[in-house]
Amino acid sequence: MTDTLATTASPWTLGPLRLPHRVIMGSMHTGLETRDDGGVGMAAFYRERASGGAALIITGGIAVSDEARGGADFAVFGRDGADDRFREAVAAVHEEGAHILAQLFHAGRYALVSGLTDRNGDPQRAVAPSALPWAAARGIVPEELTAPEIERTIEDFAAAARTARSIGFDGVEIMASEGYLINQFCSPLTNHRDDAWGGHPVRRRRFAVEVVRAVRTAVPDLAVTIRLSGVDLMPDSSTQDDVDALVADLLPLGIDGISVGVGWHESRTPTVQAAVPHAVWVSYVERIAAVVRASPYPDVRVIASNRMTDLRDAEAVLDRGLVDAVALARPFLADPTIVSRSLRGDLAAVNTCIGCNQACLDRSIIGAPVSCLVNPRAGREAQFPLAPTADPKRVDVVGGGPAGLAAAVDAARRGHRVHLWEASDRLGGQFDLAALIPGKEDYAATVRAARTELLQRGAQITTGRAVSAADLQESDAVVVATGVEPRSVSIPGADLPHVLSYESALRDGVPPGSVAIIGGGGIGVDTAAFLVESPSEEARAAAFARRWDVETFDGVVGEVPQREPVAHRSTREGALVTVLRRSGKFGQGVGITSRWVALGRLRDAGVRFVGGVREYVRIEPGFLEIVDDAGERVQIPADSVVICAGQEARDGLSTDLQTMSIPFALVGGARDASSVDAVRATSEALEAVRRLAP
């Protein structure tokens, strides 16, 4: 254990559970809960994290009834083999000496029920306190629960808790946050009733109170926690005083802990994206902790969550003394061994969550299997076990970007002799560039972690030298992950000295003055952010608080240690930045839960977006001339022009490798540069190295 994590590493109790450290693996919906594999996939997923140090795990939401499901991939106790799958998972966690709680879940009006049926074959209903749909409801208007149905739903929670105990869970967490059913009852925004369950704050809170009372009665010997919304981030929803009052109502009911979430899924305030500063939400957790500490029940545990990515974040929060534990979710996708590595002082080898959401949250909201961009094995542990190879091979990986690093690390972990080649003098590829973007500094941590682990495992790393097929003639397997290079454009004036590629703009900076960015996809948006956003997390946190009218977490944000040194960049106060594209959406390629945040930040900073460009006519000193969507010639101010017009595959090896009959696979951008998709790239790299070097 490193002394810097002394508080995090200290033991504590949660009800009947004795826990060796203060990091919880928080709830994540993975899609494994309903996979028809007898629970093998879910058991392998949880086992790997328990063996990596997760002493307490919270499952993804388990629906308390058929109508509680959020979609087709939500499990329900007693249906479709769910109980047997969870028994496998619980047994796996217990075999590793860890504990696991079942999260009891009801989607309420968030249920996407089109095409779903209940266990009797009837169409699944969506239900809510009031018949009010939400923005993404796809035309579904929930039915208002009747008073008897409310009583039955309360019993559904209690029955689910009893089932959890019979399966072997160590406790339950009641999901009352993020805008789901219990949250909906508490909020005047979604509860328009005027009966015993609404019309007054006390009556709106009654459903939450009765659910907790019923669950606690059902499982008096298990740990019982509740996940509350510290702030809804919804106009006209519950106030901070309402939240405090709800906490006060729940404390006498025998709960062991309160886990604090933030925001509803339909909120227009970003909560978990990379653009959200580290630990920015903890002020809301500490407010709830203050209510608990001042009550007659000061020993109820308070658990913080959201936008903390490693154990240094946890330590900074826990050291303040108000919060008992920290729940991390996506960081356990990125690195199942985050706890064990961190507590033994090997922080440089921790593969940090980068907050991209692309393979996790973005997939979960459309019902696709969850994984992780920086750890493509996540959710596929049973398919790609980490068993040591019986036949060590020489594996050469050409290209040190995210795909190459993923392939090299996986091969090294299984005992192959790995040689990683990178033509430039730095590892990272597109991630090395991304780490220069304000808010994306954590991308450098993936590169750092891979390099650290490869060296620890005896891999050879060669940088600053282009590899030839002759260098690889003794190789048993070659993964070609040479990535992409910026596409050039045929515009008169494109060869002028003030015209830059995005790579040179990010690495070397852009001179003062106006900038026109040709290309409005993800790289164009990132380049604009590089030009207008502050490199200081503390400054960005203050700007975030002002923009979204939220409290800042005084004393932690801005003091969380930088993961990697960041190259100097200068913001351009008042200078005009214009992003242009011919067709398609601005920010295309950015994840669906992050794109709106990225574009909103740029608009707030005064970035101008020009779409529908018919023609780029010419570049001259001081301006870029275009034909706009109305057919008019327009001059765009441009003391500098940055080209972000796509990429081309960089592959100078595959033909020679094929000629020399050297086993190889082409992956990522080197295989297909039509979109720079790091999720695809890392997944292809993992699959390729497993085929070539089992």
Q: Which residues are catalytic?
A: 180
Give whole-number Cα distances, 458 to 26, 93, 411, 461, 465, in Å: 34, 31, 12, 9, 20
Nearest to 400 by CA among 423, 383, 370: 423
Look at phi and psi of residue 429 and say left if phi exceeds 0, alpha if psi is from -120 to 50, else beta.
Answer: left
- Give the position of tokens 């779409």: 611
State both tokens at 168. 């072997």
DSSP β-bridge partners for residue 462: 421
Tell me if 628 sits within 8 A of 634, measured CB to CB.
yes
Question: Strand ranges (DSSP E) for 268-401?
Answer: 301-304, 325-328, 394-398
Q: Could you tell me which residues come within 8 angstroms of residue 200 by beta carbon, excluding any fewer than 6 positions away?
A: none
Give whole-number Cα distances, 491 to 498, 515, 618, 624, 626, in Å: 14, 16, 6, 10, 10
Three-state DSSP class for residue 56: strand
CB atoms within 10 A of CB 91: 17
Distance between CA atoms of 109 and 111, rounded to whole angstroms?
5
Alpha-carbon dihedral angle through residues 359, 364, 370, 375, given to the nearest 10 degrees: 30
Tell me if 373 sits within 8 A of 678, measured CB to CB.
yes
Tell me if 442 sits within 8 A of 354, measured CB to CB.
yes
| Residue 561, amino acid | P
Distance between CA atoms of 443 and 439, rounded to whole angstroms?
9
CB atoms within 10 A of CB 343: 19
* Terminal Cα distance for the chain, rounded: 34
Tell me if 420 sits within 8 A of 478, measured CB to CB.
no
Distance between CA atoms of 689 and 408, rounded to whole angstroms?
8
DSSP 8-state assignment for residue 76: B
- Give the position of tokens 């030839």: 468
Question: Strand ranges (DSSP E) for 409-507?
Answer: 417-422, 460-463, 477-480, 484-486, 499-501
Distance between CA atoms of 174 and 582, rounded to whole angstroms?
49
Looking only at Cα atoms, what is the longest distance across the chain?
80
